[in-house]
Amino acid sequence: MKAGNPKHTCCMCGKSITDGLMPRTCYMKHGNNAHRICQDCWWDPNTGFANENATHECPGCLKGVQLTNHGKTKKTPIIIHEKGREINVIDSDSE
Tens digits of per-residue pLDDT, 37-61?
A: 999 999 999 989 999 888 889 999 9
pTM of the predicted model as reported, rounded to 2 decimal places: 0.67
At residue 94, the pLDDT reads: 40
Residues 19-39 pLDDT 10s: 889 999 999 998 888 999 999
| Residue ranges per structural domain of the chain | 8-89
Cβ-contact 36, 20 below 8 angstroms:
yes
> What's residue 76's pLDDT?
56
CA distance 39 to 56: 15
